[in-house]
C-alpha cells in the first residue's frame, strides 16, 4: 500500500525523502515498511561511485559534475559517505558548503551519511539511501566514499560506474592501495593536474592497467586529467561516464551487475531478518544457562548457537 509519504517521495518531495532517510539512519521499523513500498519504483537511476584517498578533490569534482549534468537537464542525487567525521567532525560541513550553490536547485538533492554505527554495514545503509533517491526519480546518483578500508571495495558492488580519483605524486600510494579498487574502477581521474607529475602518474597507471590486462579487455578504462577546482576535464569525464553507461547496456554487463547487487541485498536482508528473528525468541533463562555451560567449557559457542537457532525455529 502506498502511504502519503511514499506518494510524496515518488513526486520528488524533498521533505518526505528526508524523513524516510532519517528513519533509515535510525533503523526504525517504519523504514523497512516504506522501503518495501518504494522498491518497485527503483532501478532507473545511473549510480556513480566517486572514491579515492582523502583530499584528492572528490567533492569538488562532484560539484562540477552536478553543474554539467544539470546543464543537460538531468536530475542529480548526491550521497556523501563520511567515515572521517568520526575523527574530525568537520568534513561533512565542508562538503555541504562546497556544494551549497546547488542547494536552491530543485533538481539536486544532497545528503550526507555518517558511516559509524551501522549494524548492517555501509552497503546496506547506502543502498537504502540510493533507493530513496532513485524513487524520487533522480537520473544520476553520485556516491562519494573516501577510499580507505572496506568502504572503497563496497562501492564497487553498489555503483554502476566507479570513478577512482588520484592526484599527481601518488605513484607510491597506488602501490599500497587495495588491489580490488584498481582492478574494479571503471574510470580513473587524475585530479589537480595543475600540479607537477600528472603525465607521469598517467603513464604509471597505463603500465599498471596493461599489466593487469585491463587495457585488452572489453572495457578499457579511460584515464582523465582534470582540474576540478577550475572546471577543467569535466566535460571529458561526463563523456566517459556516458560512454561507460552505453557499454554497460549494450554488453549486458548492467544486467549482470544489477543481479549481483540484488543478490548482495538479498543476503544482507536474510542475515538481518534472521538476526532479529532469533533475538526476538531468545529465552533469557536458557541464555543464562548456556553462558554458564560455556564458561565451564561444557559446550562451545558453535554448538550453542546452532542449538539456539534450532530451538527458535521449533517454537514457531
Ligand X SMILES: Nc1nc2c(ncn2[C@@H]2O[C@H](COP(=O)(O)OP(=O)(O)OP(=O)(O)O)[C@@H](O)[C@H]2O)c(=O)[nH]1
Q: Which residues bind Mg ion (CB under 5 A)?
A: 58-59
Q: How far apart are CA 145 and CA 80, in angstroms?
A: 7
Closest of 48, 42, 7 to residue 133, by C-alpha? 42
Q: Which does 55 bind (CB under 5 to 8 A by kind): Mg ion, ligand X, none?
A: ligand X
Closest of 130, 66, 122, 54 to residue 94, by C-alpha? 54
CA 272, 278, 283: angle at the middle one, nearest 5?
150
Q: Output the CA torsion 66→70→71→74 (10° steps).
A: 120
Beta pairing class for 76-82 and 161-166: unpaired
Per CB under 6 A, the segment of 16-24, 153-161, 222-230, 279-287 that binds ligand X is 222-230
Q: Does 149 bind ligand X (CB under 6 A)?
A: no
Per CB under 6 A, the segment of 7-15, 27-35, 53-61, 272-280 that binds ligand X is 53-61
- Closest approach, Cβ 297 to Mg ion, in A, equals 50
The C-alpha cell 539512519 sits at: 25
- Nearer to ligand X by C-beta: 215 or 229? 229
Query: Binder to ligand X among 24, 146, 170, 187 (CB under 6 A)?
Result: 146
Q: Which does 227 bind (CB under 5 to 8 A by kind): ligand X, Mg ion, none?
A: ligand X
- Closest approach, Cβ 73 to Mg ion, in A, equals 26
**252 and 219 Cβ atoms separated by less than 8 Å:** no
Q: How far apart are CA 208 and CA 220, in angstroms?
A: 13
Site string for ligand X, 153-192 (x = CB under 6 A): --------------------------------------xx
Q: How far apart are CA 244 and CA 52, in angstroms?
A: 19
Q: Does 228 bind ligand X (CB under 6 A)?
A: yes
**76 and 107 Cβ atoms separated by less than 8 Å:** yes
* 1-6: Cβ within 8 A, 24+ apart: 1/37, 2/37, 3/34, 3/37, 5/34, 6/34, 6/37, 6/38, 6/135
Query: Binder to ligand X among 49, 57, 184, 221 (CB under 6 A)?
Result: 57
- Nearer to ligand X by C-beta: 16 or 193? 193
- Nearer to Mg ion by C-beta: 103 or 299? 103
Site string for ligand X, 87-106 (x = CB under 6 A): ----x---------------
Q: Does 227 bind ligand X (CB under 6 A)?
A: yes
Q: How far apart are CA 253 and CA 262, in angstroms?
A: 14
Query: Binder to ligand X among 3, 33, 54, 288 (CB under 6 A)?
Result: 54
Q: Does 194 bind ligand X (CB under 6 A)?
A: yes
DSSP state of 89: S
Q: Does 58 bind ligand X (CB under 6 A)?
A: yes
- Nearer to ligand X by C-beta: 95 or 265? 95
- Closest approach, Cβ 136 to ligand X, in A, equals 24
- Closest approach, Cβ 85 to Mg ion, in A, equals 11
* Contacts (Cβ under 8 Å, ≥6 apart) of 39: 131
- Nearer to ligand X by C-beta: 55 or 307? 55
Q: Which residues bind ligand X (CB under 6 A)?
A: 54-60, 91, 146, 191-192, 194-195, 227-229
Amino acid at each position: 500500500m502506498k502511504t502519503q509519504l511514499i506518494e510524496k517521495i515518488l513526486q520528488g518531495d524533498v521533505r518526505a525523502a528526508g524523513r524516510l532517510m532519517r528513519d533509515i539512519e535510525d533503523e526504525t521499523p517504519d523504514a523497512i515498511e516504506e522501503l518495501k513500498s518504494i522498491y518497485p519504483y527503483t532501478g532507473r537511476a545511473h549510480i556513480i561511485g566517486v572514491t579515492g584517498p582523502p583530499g584528492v578533490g572528490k567533492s569538488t569534482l562532484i560539484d562540477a559534475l552536478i553543474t554539467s549534468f544539470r546543464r543537460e537537464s538531468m536530475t542529480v542525487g548526491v550521497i556523501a559517505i563520511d567515515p572521517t567525521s568520526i575523527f574530525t567532525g568537520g568534513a561533512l560541513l565542508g562538503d555541504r558548503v562546497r556544494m551549497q550553490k546547488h542547494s536552491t536547485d530543485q533538481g539536486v538533492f544532497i545528503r550526507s551519511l555518517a558511516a559509524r554505527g551501522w549494524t548492517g554495514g555501509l552497503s546496506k545503509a547506502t543502498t537504502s539511501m540510493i533507493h530513496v533517491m532513485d524513487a524520487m526519480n533522480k537520473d544520476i546518483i553520485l556516491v562519494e566514499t573516501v577510499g580507505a578500508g572496506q568502504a572503497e571495495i563496497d562501492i564497487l558492488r553498489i555503483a554502476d560506474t566507479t570513478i577512482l580519483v588520484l592526484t599527481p605524486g601518488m605513484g607510491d600510494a597506488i602501490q599500497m592501495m587495495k588491489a580490488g579498487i584498481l582492478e574494479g574502477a571503471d574510470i580513473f581521474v587524475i585530479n589537480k593536474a595543475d600540479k607537477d607529475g600528472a603525465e607521469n602518474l598517467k603513464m604509471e597507471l597505463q603500465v599498471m592497467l596493461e599489466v593487469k590486462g585491463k587495457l585488452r579487455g572489453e572495457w578499457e578504462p579511460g584515464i582523465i586529467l582534470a582540474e576540478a577546482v577550475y572546471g577543467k576535464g569535466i566535460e571529458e569525464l561526463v563523456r566517459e561516464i556516458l560512454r561507460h553507461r552505453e557499454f554497460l547496456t549494450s554488453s549486458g554487463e548492467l544486467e549482470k551487475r544489477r543481479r549481483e547487487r540484488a543478490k548482495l541485498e538479498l543476503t544482507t536482508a536474510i542475515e538481518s531478518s534472521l538476526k532479529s528473528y532469533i533475538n526476538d525468541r531468545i529465552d533469557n533463562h536458557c541464555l543464562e544457562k548456556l553462558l554458564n555451560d560455556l564458561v565451564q567449557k561444557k559446550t562451545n559457542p558453535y554448538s550453542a548457537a546452532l542449538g539456539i537457532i534450532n530451538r527458535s525455529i521449533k517454537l514457531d
